[in-house]
């Protein structure tokens, strides 16, 4: 069953990339402040993303939808550990022209590096690090378009899952995380 999910994910990504030969593409890139709590620690950091969209893929209810691939790198840390993720996937944007609001949803997969400062069974301090596969179960966000080329992300919530080492034993277990972020992005498309 898990293999079928990966095949579906790869097929959708391949379909998206194959359409790059078409005209009317748009791009967006930006930086976000990110807050998450993984392995019982609150961590602050930053993320950067880049996305390509099919321009005006559909129009409905005074709005427009765009669909395309996205890549995201995020890093955060605190005194008790750190988390780095590099995820790639697909995003759907729906923009309402009159209100300048953009609702987006995405699904991403990639890798994660989790570091936890912990204590061994003998009582000594230790660092536990785990590199693992990671996927963002569902990411949703709300942006505000300012002018033609700038987008402010009011709120974005991502729910990545990855393997996290345990404090005492160093063994790993799959855990979900919630990352909240907000920031600014720039659009690279022509005025329409």
pLDDT band at 21 (very low <50, low <70, confident <90, very high): very low
Q: Which fold has domain 2-187?
A: Porin (2.40.160)
The predicted model scores a pTM of 0.74
pLDDT given at position 183: 94
Determine the Cα–Cα distance for residues 124 and 115; give it in Å rounded to an integer: 17
Question: Averaged over 29-33, what is the pLDDT?
Answer: 92
Determine the Cα–Cα distance for residues 1 and 70; give it in Å rounded to an integer: 25
The 10s digit of each residue's pLDDT in 114-168 is 888 766 667 677 778 888 889 887 889 999 999 888 999 999 999 888 888 776 5
The 10s digit of each residue's pLDDT in 35-93 is 887 756 778 888 898 888 876 555 555 667 788 889 999 988 887 788 889 999 998 88
pLDDT band at 98 (very low <50, low <70, confident <90, very high): confident
Helix (H, G, I), strand (E, B) or coil at 158: strand
Following CA atoms 37, 155, 132, 40 in sequence, which dihedral angle do they give, to the nearest 10 degrees?
Answer: 0
pLDDT given at position 51: 87
């Amino acid at each position: 069953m898990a293999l079928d999910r990966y095949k579906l994910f790869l097929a959708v990504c391949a379909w998206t990339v194959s359409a790059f030969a078409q005209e009317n593409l748009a791009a967006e890139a930006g930086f976000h402040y990110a807050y998450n709590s993984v392995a019982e620690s609150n961590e602050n950091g930053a993320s950067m993303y880049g996305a390509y969209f099919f321009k005006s893929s559909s129009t409905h209810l005074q709005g427009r939808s765009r669909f395309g691939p996205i890549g995201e790198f995020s890093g955060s840390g605190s005194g008790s550990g750190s988390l780095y993720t590099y995820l790639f996937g697909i995003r759907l944007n729906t923009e309402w022209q009159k209100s300048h609001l953009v609702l987006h949803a995405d699904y991403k997969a990639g890798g994660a590096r989790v570091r936890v400062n912990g204590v061994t069974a003998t009582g000594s301090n230790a660092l536990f690090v785990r590199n693992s596969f990671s996927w963002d179960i569902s990411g949703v966000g709300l942006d505000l378009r300012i002018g033609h080329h700038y987008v402010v992300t009011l709120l974005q919530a991502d729910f990545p899952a990855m393997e996290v080492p345990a404090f005492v034993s160093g063994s790993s277990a799959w855990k979900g995380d919630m990352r909240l972020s907000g920031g600014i992005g720039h659009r690279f498309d022509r005025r329409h």
